[in-house]
Chain A
């Protein structure tokens, strides 16, 4: 993460209300040039509302928000010219070709056709859609459409790329292709601001992230830092057969693990050394149906902070 002075985006006590509903509840954050910053949270946490305010298509209810030091209420035109937006729902035109979608979109930014022709070729190459350049968008797969949306959002060479749930709805393979492209952008120095409810996405892409829940920021840090702060190194996942789960888990695990989290389908035990912990439990005579030892993830951080899973 390189921080050189003034943040590109700065929010202080930022609030978004829809009638009585508070979607974003007085959040503070800074986005520095060159970093990949994420909003992690479940659906309804206020991530998209925040993104729309940054994209200058949703008026700020209260608090302050500056983007490139500018006020979105008055300088929306200037700000949007310097942003790239990958919305949650694709806004591609199904009837136009892949290439036309990029060129027309670039025209919205006032770019010349000749220049756009060149950029469209480069961008299609970057997202590996060159072969589909003259096909209509409609029959493309979900992953291809997503890649096209990303290519399109780069047409104005944005200083910040806003990605609202970039891989939601994609199959695992398509997600990895998208992640790979975003990772390359990051290496090229493009500042990324993304929302996600996938902890692995946040871990893969973000240098720094905030965890959002019900409109509030409940934690902030690097993925590793958050895990270290709010979770143990490893987690033991226990599953029991129906009716066999002991009621007094606290008694069984006393002195072996740091914390116990009982979910409807499984029990999570937080420990520095998962193998050692599960061994000790076995010695005490606890016999779950299955035992899985894994490294702690952001999911565990979220669970610890909110008492709920990310994807419900």
Chain B
């Protein structure tokens, strides 16, 4: 049987587990974008729109909303793929239970990523509906920001899961959040164009998957497509996902088959 079919089985476990907390999780997922858009898009947006003219005459709300959507995917995916992955190896040991069945390491790894994708799809759909309600989507192409947001999430959950399967303790997770995820959240074009960053920082921002994701989501919701650029952004994300999954396969095997 193909990997994808077998990955359904671990996914079913994670969904069963998620069923216990889905209400709280769904409420958080729905409330977060409302709060962010009210504070930044509407509140801060009044000041920004008064003092600056954004390109193409868009409002700050329209600028920041797709960026927040991508950035939220990064946060959820990073969290889900750090502690829970190490736990499934070390504390709750669910991976070991799965590997006592016909499932292979690959199925277990992809099954967990499939669960992250499920979380990201629900998050992205809810986020998108909220953005539409705020009137911040200009183009029907904007709906494609949903799969892009999921892709942004996986571009974090794949490499972070690879790291989580490698690391012995949780100590590094806090550092990852403080020194990688938080700076990316702030400086990858979500809140202001990276062209306003000092040149060296701008170059660094080009390499963050989040910047590619934010830019792509924004181009889609604004309907401001540049085929060459946007394909490049898409390819960059796909490459990060592919490399992340390959790395995860390697670290999972090394950790689980000893």
Contacts and interface: CB of A to CB of B under 8 A. Distances in A.
B258 A108 contact: no
Nearest to B93: A91
Contact of B256 (A18, A57, A94): A57
Interface string B80-110: 0000000000001110111111111000000
Nearest to A93: B94
* Chain B interface category by residue count: 20 to 34
Nearest to A153: B100
Contacts of B103: 108
* Chain A interface category by residue count: 20 to 34
A81 B13 contact: no
Contact of A104 (B16, B102, B256, B257): B16
A87 interface: yes
A169 to B, nearest CB: 16
Given A57-B256, A107-B13, A91 B94 contact: yes
Interface in A26-81: 52, 55, 57-59, 76-78, 80-81
B17 interface: yes
A100 interface: yes
A159 to B, nearest CB: 14
Nearest to A149: B97
B100 to A, nearest CB: 4
Nearest to A55: B100
A108 B93 contact: no
Nearest to B91: A94
A41 to B, nearest CB: 20
B97 to A, nearest CB: 4
Contacts of A156: 101
A109 B101 contact: yes
A243 interface: no
A228 interface: no
Contacts of A109: 101-102
Contacts of B170: none
Given A57-B257, A59-B257, A96-B16, A108 B102 contact: yes
B53 interface: no
Contacts of A59: 257
A95 B9 contact: no
B207 to A, nearest CB: 37
B20 interface: yes
B97 A58 contact: no
B102 A107 contact: no
A298 to B, nearest CB: 28
Contacts of A141: none
Nearest to B103: A108
Contacts of B10: 108
A105 B257 contact: no
B217 to A, nearest CB: 34
Interface of B: 9-10, 12-13, 16-17, 20, 92-94, 96-104, 256-258
The 3 closest A-B pairs by CB, nearest first: A108-B101, A91-B97, A85-B100
Interface of A: 18, 52, 55, 57-59, 76-78, 80-81, 83, 85, 87, 89-96, 100, 104-105, 107-110, 153, 156
